[in-house]
Structures are given as structure tokens and as C-alpha cells.
Amino acid sequence: MNAFANVVPPMLDSHELRKIALAAGADDCGLVAIDNAALDDQRADILAAFPFARTLISFVVKMNRENIRSPARSLANIEFHHAGHECDEIARTIVETLEGLGRRAAYPPLAFPMEAERWPGKMWVVAHKPVAVAAGLGRMGIHRNVIHPKFGNFILLGTVVIDMDVAHDCMPIDYNPCLECKLCIAACPTGAIAPDGHFDFSACYTHNYREFMGGFTDFVETIADAKNARAYREKFDDAETVSMWQSLAYGPNYKAAYCLAVCPAGEDVIGAYRDDKKNFLSAVLDPLKEKVETIYVRRGSDAEDYVARRFPHKRIKHVGASIRLTNVDNFLASLRNAFQRNKSEGLGAVYHFSFTGARRRQATVVIADKRLSVENGLVGQPDLAVTADSETWIRFLRKETSLPWALLSRRIKLRGDPRLLMAFGKCFPG
């Protein structure tokens, strides 16, 4: 029997929904219809988890700024954790209220837990940032964080999915609160944010998420490879081990998030920057730049070069791959995030990839002018054509089999200048 049969729940308008969200503790909220074009790339995933979804309530929770700004990461991380738990509790309270009114409603977590079996693919059910932008709660800054017009980027985001269409006037705001002051660029310890707007996902993820998902996997594999305790201590000092334990015991800790800390945008935030810029820089930006700390990078990456050049007082530590590829689909999907544009300088080539075996895919990768594009199918004339058994290719990338063996056994075949494969590899260290 259908549990929802013969039930006629009340219709709620946008004002009533906003009142419910604010009463639950949200600091601001907006609405997005499930058929909004901003949700085109995640609508199928939302409906798979919430088949009844018609409208999404997006809401904001403010964070305390001075904790986030502190060079002491314990202060910043306790605020992230507390506000994150608050965000999930607010979402749960909204759902509880709506269910009490007879409506179907549910919520995804702010962050964790996620659908871990999808790793290293898309683990999250709802991408909160584009939902918030569509709901009029802010715009993305060059640091890839949503900036609320009043609260700035000192916010966390939540989403609640409900079962009814709601007339509303929520829409993206018509200006970007981002000042383009470039303080996030100056503060980032890995060079992940470039002045021209380029974002190096790999640099940010490798360092800032060292004690999350992929970084933890690399940590475990290092332990497995160590012959004894002494060999382990040659890889990790006691402080790093304790830090990893702390993340496991109390929640994953970010290594930086300095881009949030220094952002002066937002009506409630901008005063100190506008009134005394010099003092703002010395009080907020300089302590983060001057902090002596370990920066985690991939060997041969743009981040490694940037830290050595920009922050010679910070210690560089090389770490293993944060994301282990499992199939050719996530290999192709990962290229944009892993691309190191400075390592591609002088390279201009078209690559055709044809994968056979268990997973069959064809794709064209173009690297030129320090930019990368990936297209499905074989497009144009290749400078290098790679035909590979899909499982062998992944084992090669994971260093579980050698390229010479794969070439001799014809499991990987090259047509064109083989030096271009080496040039390709330099663009994706590790």
C-alpha cells in the first residue's frame, strides 16, 4: 500500500517556507525549482536520491570570522565543524517541521558522510554551491567559494528537498560581491588560485585535504609499505601522526582555507578592509603568509615550484597520489582537475585515446597554449594515438605494471611520436 495515498498535504508558499527555515536557525534562504537550468548537470542525481523532488530550499549558516582567520588551524577547524553540525541540524529541523505538516522532505548532508562507493567519482548527492547561487544567496568568487552579499564567504550551505512546486521570486543576484582584490591569491600557500582566474584543483586538494579521503589513502599505503616503525618515522614525524589521529577522532581538519580567511567581501565584513586596508593586511593576511608550516605537494607539480619560489620559509613535503584512478572513465574525468598548466608550456599536441576491453571509450585530449580540452570521440588528426586495454592502462597509471611490458605485449599501442606520451605525463605528475 502506498503510504502517501489519499493524503492531501497543505500547500505552502515561499514566505511560509522561508519562515520555517529562519525559525530552524538559518541566516538566509532561497528556493530553486528542480527544473531550473542551473541544476541540469545534477538533476538526475537529485531525483535518483529524492524521486519526489520539486523544489530545493537553499539556506545559509554564518560562521564566526575570527576563528576562520586565525593561523592556528585548531581554531578554524572547530568553527568549520561546529557550523557544519549546526547546518545539518537546521536541515533536519526544517524536514521535521515539513513532515509534521504532511509534506515529503529530505536533506543531504552538508559534507560528510557521502556515497563513498562512488569514489573517486562524484560522491555527493547535491552540490550546494550552484543551488545557492541559483537561489540568489550569493555568487562564486575567484576562490571558488560562494560569497553572500551580506555575510561574505564566512558561510556554510545547506539544502532541503521538498515535494511541491512553489511560486517564488528567487533568482541569482545581479552582481558579484567578489572585490577581485586578489587577497585569496596572495594567501593561498599552494598557488592554487591564479590572477587570471585559473584554479589548480590538484594543488588545493593535495594540501588542504591531506587528512581527507585520498590523502588518508596515501597515508595508509605508506604505513603498509613501511618495513618497521623506524621506516615509518622516516616518512612521517610524530606531529603528522597525531594530526591524522586527531582528524580521525574529531573530524577531518583542513590544512589551510586561507582564501576564506582573508576575503573582505560582504556588507558585514568589508568595513575593516575599507577603513584601514594596511591594518587589515597586517592583521589578517600577513600572519597566514608568514606562518611556518608544511605544505603537501605532488613531486613535479606547479604547486611545488610555487611554494619554493613564493614561500621559501614553508616546508615542502612530497606525497603520493591523493586520487587513485580505478577505470578509464574517471581517468578522463580527472584530467581537467589534475592538469598542471605550467608543466605544459611549449607543448601543443592532439591526443587520441581508444580504450578497449572491459570499458570501451574514445576521447580526444588537446593540450595547447597551456590549456587543456577533453572531448568524447576521436576528433581531428592526432599527433599521438594511444590504443590501450582499459585495465592495463589503469594499472600502468597506478604503477602496477610497466610501460615497456605493456608495449611489448601490445596491450598498449602508440602511433605517432612516443615522446609526446612523456610530455603528456609531465602535465599530470603522479
Strand stretches in 79-221, DSSP E: 105-106, 139-140, 146-147, 155-162
Judgement on whether residues 297 and 202 belong to the same structural domain of the protein: yes
**In-domain check, residue 4:** no
Q: Strand 155-162 to strand 294-297: parallel, antiparallel, or no bridges (unpaired)?
A: unpaired
Judgement on whether residues 77 and 203 belong to the same structural domain of the protein: no
Judgement on whether residues 276 and 251 belong to the same structural domain of the protein: yes
Per the rule left: phi > 0, alpha: psi between -120 and 50, beta: everything else, 388 is beta
**In-domain check, residue 79:** yes
Judgement on whether residues 230 and 280 belong to the same structural domain of the protein: yes
Query: Quick one: pLDDT at residue 120?
Result: 87
**In-domain check, residue 231:** yes
Judgement on whether residues 197 and 311 belong to the same structural domain of the protein: yes
What are the tens digits of pLDDT across the range 40-68? 999 999 999 999 999 999 999 999 999 99
Q: Cα separation of 318 and 339, whole Å? A: 18
**Predicted confidence band at 1 (pLDDT cuts at 50, 70, 90)?**
very low
Residue 271: CB atoms within 10 A of its CB come to: 12
Judge whether residue 3 has pLDDT over 80. no
Looking at residues 117-127, what average pLDDT do you find? Answer: 92
* Mean pLDDT of all residues belonging to the chain: 95
Looking at residues 303-315, what average pLDDT do you find? Answer: 98
What are the tens digits of pLDDT across the range 344-358? 999 999 999 999 998
Q: Of 45-54, 150-159, 320-329, 362-371, which range is least confident?
A: 320-329
Judgement on whether residues 234 and 354 belong to the same structural domain of the protein: no
Query: Quick one: pLDDT at residue 5?
Result: 53
Looking at residues 178-184, what average pLDDT do you find? Answer: 95
Of 162, 196, 216, which residue is a domain's last?
Answer: 162
**In-domain check, residue 3:** no
Nearest-5° Cα angle at 394, 391 to 399: 125
Looking at residues 93-104, what average pLDDT do you find? Answer: 97
Judgement on whether residues 149 and 253 belong to the same structural domain of the protein: no
Q: Cα separation of 70 and 77, whole Å? A: 10
Q: How far apart, in Å, are the Cα atoms of 68 and each of 33, 65, 153, 155, 397?
A: 33, 5, 11, 11, 38
Of 318, 337, 357, which residue is a domain's last?
Answer: 318
Q: Side chain identity at 411, as an amino acid letter?
A: R
Q: Cα separation of 139 and 265, whole Å? A: 11
Q: Cα separation of 323 and 206, whole Å? A: 9
Query: Quick one: pLDDT at residue 430?
Result: 72
Cell triple for 238: 610524530
Judgement on whether residues 216 and 274 belong to the same structural domain of the protein: yes
Of 291, 318, 345, which residue is a domain's last?
Answer: 318
Judgement on whether residues 130 and 238 belong to the same structural domain of the protein: no
Judgement on whether residues 148 and 70 belong to the same structural domain of the protein: yes
**In-domain check, residue 89:** yes
Q: Strand 412-416 to strand 384-389: parallel, antiparallel, or no bridges (unpaired)?
A: antiparallel
Judgement on whether residues 103 and 218 belong to the same structural domain of the protein: no
Judge whether residue 420 has pLDDT over 70. yes
Phi, psi of 355 (to 5 degrees): -105, 135
Please give the DSSP secondary-structure letter assigned to residue 281.
I
**In-domain check, residue 339:** yes
Helix then strand then coil, in percent of the chain rounded to 5, is 40, 15, 40
What are the tens digits of pLDDT across the range 25-40? 999 999 999 999 999 9
**In-domain check, residue 7:** no
Q: Cα separation of 82 and 306, whole Å? A: 33
DSSP notation for 324-362: ---SHHHHHHHHHHH--GGGGTT--EEEEEEEETTS-EE
Question: What angle separates helix 213-225 from helix 238-250, to the nearest 10 degrees?
Answer: 130
Residue range of the domain that includes 71: 14-162
Judgement on whether residues 346 and 378 belong to the same structural domain of the protein: yes
Cell triple for 224: 603498509
Separation of CA 428 from chain center: 18
Please give the DSSP secondary-structure letter assigned to residue 6.
T
Which residue's C-alpha cell is 541566516?
A: 27
Looking at residues 157-178, what average pLDDT do you find? Answer: 96
Query: Quick one: pLDDT at residue 2?
Result: 55
Looking at residues 176-187, what average pLDDT do you find? Answer: 95
**In-domain check, residue 169:** no
- Specify burial of residue 43 (Cβ count, 10 A radius: 0-12, 13-18, 19+): middle
Number of domains present in the structure of the chain = 3
Q: For the domain that residue 19 is a member of, what is the CATH number?
A: 3.40.109
**Predicted confidence band at 7 (pLDDT cuts at 50, 70, 90)?**
low
Looking at residues 330-335, what average pLDDT do you find? Answer: 94
Looking at residues 327-331, what average pLDDT do you find? Answer: 94
Q: For the domain that residue 411 is a member of, what is the CATH number?
A: 3.30.1050.10
Query: Quick one: pLDDT at residue 119?
Result: 87
**Predicted confidence band at 417 (pLDDT cuts at 50, 70, 90)?**
very high
Q: Is the pTM of this model over 0.85?
A: yes
Burial 51-81 (b: 16+ CB within 10 A, else e): eebebbbbbbbbbebebbbbbebeebbbbbe
